[in-house]
Amino acid sequence: MALVKRRRLVIGFVLAVLGLVILILIALTQALDPGDKHDTSTDLVTPTLAVQNARLFEVSPQESRVDFTTQVNGVALDGVFPVKEGTITLEPVGSKLRVLVRLYIDVDSVDTGNPMVDRVLRVAMATGDYPLAFYVSTSRDLVPVTEEEIAFELDGDLEVHNVAHEHQMSVRAQLVGDDMWAIATSDLDLGNHDVEFPSFVNSSVIKLTAHLQAYKNENALTVTPAAE
For position 159, which CATH number holds? 2.40.128.110
Q: Is the pLDDT of residue 52 over 80?
A: no
Query: Is 103 part of any domain?
Result: yes
Contacts for 214 with CB less than 8 Å, ≥ 6 apart: 57, 58, 59, 60, 64, 86, 87, 88, 179, 180, 181, 182
- Using the predicted structure, report yes or no on whether residue 17 has a pLDDT greater than 60: no
The span from the CA of 92 to the CA of 102, in Å, is: 17
Phi-psi region at 170: left, alpha or beta (left = phi > 0; alpha = psi -120 to 50): beta
Q: Report the pLDDT value the prediction gives residue 227, as an integer from 0 to 100.
A: 37
The pLDDT of residue 202 is: 83
Within-domain flag for 186: yes
- pLDDT on residue 218: 76
Indicate the pLDDT class of residue 226, thresholds 50, 70 and 90.
very low
Q: Which domain holds residue 131?
A: 53-216
Structural domain includes residue 5: no
What confidence category does residue 95 fall into, taking pLDDT thresholds of 50, 70 and 90?
A: very high
| pLDDT score of 75 | 85
Which residues have CB under 8 Å from 5's CB, separation 6+? Answer: none
Residue 206: per-residue pLDDT? 95
| Residue 149, in any domain of the structure | yes
Tell me if 39 is assigned to some domain.
Answer: no
- Is 193 within 8 Å of 161 (Cβ atoms)? yes
Residue 144 has pLDDT above 50, yes or no: yes
Residue 200 banded pLDDT, cuts 50, 70, 90: confident
Cα–Cα distance for residue pair 145/132, rounded to 1 Å:
33
Confidence of residue 216 (pLDDT cuts 50, 70, 90): very high
132 vs 53, more confident? 132
**Residue 85 burial (10 A CB sphere; 0-12, 13-18, 19+):** middle
**Domains: count for the chain:** 1
Question: What mean pLDDT comes out for the span 168-184?
Answer: 98
pLDDT of res. 1: 62
Q: Please report the pLDDT score of residue 141 as a whole number.
A: 98
Decide if 124 is inside a domain.
yes
